[in-house]
């Protein structure tokens, strides 16, 4: 990451159609298809029932300062997901209903923050897709410039500008831009396999049989009391 604050305006984005298709498979399937990597920890949906998928525009802010959220919105394109990082833990409401109004007008697919949000009731009424670490009433200042479109950490995951971000009620997962097409192929295969197995589960077949777990379990001591 550049040491001096700066805004990088030109980034290579993952294919938008691939990002959209990954979103259709959902976070859990994409996480499995991505070799069980990329899951953000501690990042939760503000409004249950919403989904988002798109290419990442990133920003890195100083704690308690959301200057670069504003700067990053100016660099977003329709279908992007804004991913907000912080240089230190921040329990400040960096994003609220006014910025959500702007983000929706700009065509963003959603916003993910490694910090807090506020105006939760309004965000839920708007049904704008936001995922965050916390909810906090404390506001922010705008005095310390940071960075736009640099690698950041969000929920313990490194997100590069242009990566794919998928979010739903299960949380958020990031997929590296170079891996997105391959992860999509894996997700499609996994979904097809699950749909083939689902009727057998519905008919009462046991998962230990279909999953081939009997040999592993056969040697376990059994208590028949």
Give the residue ranges of DSSP H helices in the chain: 16-25, 27-33, 67-73, 97-105, 120-126, 180-202, 207-210, 214-218
Give per-residue pLDDT as tens, 2-60. Answer: 689 999 999 999 999 999 999 999 999 999 999 999 999 999 999 999 999 999 999 99
At residue 223, the pLDDT reads 84
Give per-residue pLDDT as tens, 64-106. Answer: 999 999 999 999 999 999 999 999 999 899 999 999 999 999 9
Task: Write the DSSP symbol of residue 15.
Answer: P
Distance from C-alpha of 124 to C-alpha of 96, rounded to nearest angstrom: 11
Find all residues with CB under 8 Å of 33, minimum gap 6, and list them: 25, 183, 184, 186, 187, 189, 190
Q: Where are the domains of the chain?
A: 6-185
Q: Which residue has the higher pLDDT, 225 or 163?
A: 163
User: What are the CA-CA distances from residue 153 to residues 58, 68, 185, 216 (Å)?
Assistant: 10, 15, 26, 39
Distance from C-alpha of 146 to C-alpha of 30, rounded to nearest angstrom: 31
Going by pLDDT thresholds of 50, 70 and 90, the confidence category of residue 225 is confident
**For range 121-128, the mean pLDDT:** 98
At residue 221, the pLDDT reads 82
Three-state secondary structure readout of 32-77: HHCCCCCECCCCEECCCCCCEEEEEEEEEECCCECHHHHHHHCCCC
pLDDT of residue 169 exceeding 70, the answer is yes
At residue 3, the pLDDT reads 80
pTM of the predicted model, to two decimals?
A: 0.95
Distance from C-alpha of 157 to C-alpha of 34, rounded to nearest angstrom: 13
Q: Per mean pLDDT, which range of 29-38, 120-129, 153-162, 205-214 is the poorest?
A: 205-214
pLDDT of residue 209 exceeding 80, the answer is yes
User: What are the CA-CA distances from residue 158 to residues 26, 135, 163 (Å)?
Assistant: 20, 22, 10
Class for domain 6-185, per CATH?
Answer: alpha beta
Per DSSP, the three-state class of 133 is: coil
């Amino acid at each position: 990451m550049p040491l001096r604050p700066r805004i990088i305006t030109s980034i290579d984005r993952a294919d938008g159609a691939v990002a959209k298709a990954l979103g259709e498979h959902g976070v859990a399937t994409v996480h499995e298809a991505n070799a069980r990597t990329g899951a953000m920890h501690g990042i939760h949906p503000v409004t249950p029932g919403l989904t988002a998928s798109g290419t990442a525009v990133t920003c890195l802010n100083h704690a308690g300062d959301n200057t670069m959220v504003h700067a990053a919105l100016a660099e977003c394109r329709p279908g992007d997901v804004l991913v907000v990082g912080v240089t230190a833990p921040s329990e400040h409401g960096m994003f609220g209903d006014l910025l959500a109004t702007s983000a929706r007008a700009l065509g963003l697919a959603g916003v993910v923050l490694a910090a807090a949000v506020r105006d939760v009731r309004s965000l839920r009424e708007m049904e704008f897709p936001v995922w965050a670490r916390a909810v906090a009433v404390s506001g922010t200042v705008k005095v310390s410039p940071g960075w736009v479109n640099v690698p950041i950490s969000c929920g313990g995951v490194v997100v590069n500008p242009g990566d794919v971000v998928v979010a739903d009620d299960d949380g958020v997962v990031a997929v590296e831009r170079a891996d997105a097409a391959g992860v999509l192929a894996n997700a499609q295969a996994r979904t097809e396999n699950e749909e083939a197995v689902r009727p057998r589960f519905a008919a009462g077949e046991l998962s230990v049989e279909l999953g081939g777990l009997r040999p592993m379990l056969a040697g376990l001591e059994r208590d028949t009391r």
